[in-house]
Amino acid sequence: MTVTQETSSPTEVLVVGAGPTGLFLALLLARLGVSVRVVDSAGAPGTTSRALAVQARTLELYRQVDLADEVVRRGLVLRALNLWRRGERAERIELATVGKGQTPFPFGVIFPQDEHERLLVERLEAAGVGVERRTEVTSIDAGPGDERVVARLRAPDGSNATCEARYVAGCDGARSTVRRAIEAGFPGGTYSHLFYVADVVAQGAAVNGELHVLLDDAGFLGLFPLAGTGRARLVGTIRDDAAGPGALLRWEHVDRRPIERIGIQVEHVNWFSTYHVHHRVADRFRRDRVFLLGDAAHVHSPVGGQGMNTGLGDAMNLAWKLAAVLGGRAHADLLDTYEPERIAFARRLVATTDRVFQAASKDGRFARMLRTEVAPRVVAAISHTEMGRLAFFRLLSQTGIEYRASTWSSGRNGKLHGGDRLPWAPPASPGAPDNFTPLRSLDWQAHVYGEPDAGVRAACDSRRLPLHAFAFDARARASGLAKDAVYVVRPDGYLGAVLDAAGAAARVPEYLDRHGIRTRC
Applying CB under 6 A, which residues contact ligand FAD?
A: 16-22, 39-42, 50-52, 113, 136-137, 171-173, 177, 197, 273, 275, 294-295, 302, 305, 307-308, 311
Residue 512 CB, shortest distance to ligand FAD, in Å, is 33
CB of 377 to ligand FAD, least distance (A): 26
CB of 307 to ligand FAD, least distance (A): 3
* Element counts in the chain: helices (H) and strands (E): 14, 26
- Least distance in Å: CB of 347 to ligand FAD? 17
Q: Which is nearer to ligand FAD, 113 or 435 (CB)?
A: 113
- Of 171 and 266, the one with the shorter C-beta distance to ligand FAD is 171
Would you say 474 and 386 are in contact if contact means Cβ atoms under 8 Å apart? no
Residue 339, classed as helix, strand or coil, is helix
Work out how close the CB of 93 gets to ligand FAD at its nearest, in angstroms, rounded to a whole number.
Answer: 19
CA distance from start to end of the chain: 45
CB of 382 to ligand FAD, least distance (A): 22
Distance from the Cα of residue 85 to its chain's centroid: 31
CB atoms closer than 10 angstroms to residue 477: 14
Residue 330 CB, shortest distance to ligand FAD, in Å, is: 25
**Closer residue to ligand FAD in complex, CB, 297/325:** 297
Geometric angle at alpha carbon 17, from 11 and 18, rounded to 5°: 95
Q: How many CA atoms lie within 13 A of 239 on its CB side?
A: 13
Nearest Cα residue to 152 out of 144, 170, 164: 164
Report the residue number, 78 or 460, with the smaller CB distance to ligand FAD: 78
Q: Which is nearer to ligand FAD, 236 or 294 (CB)?
A: 294
- Give the integer Cα–Cα distance in Å for 322 and 169: 10
Q: DSSP string spanning 153-218?
A: EE-TTS-EEEEEEEEEEE---TT-HHHHHTT----EEEEEEEEEEEEEEEESTT-SSSEEEEEETT
Q: Which is nearer to ligand FAD, 30 or 308 (CB)?
A: 308
Whichever of 361 and 479 has its CB closer to ligand FAD, that residue is 361
What contacts 101, CB < 8 A, 6 or more positions away? 426, 475, 478
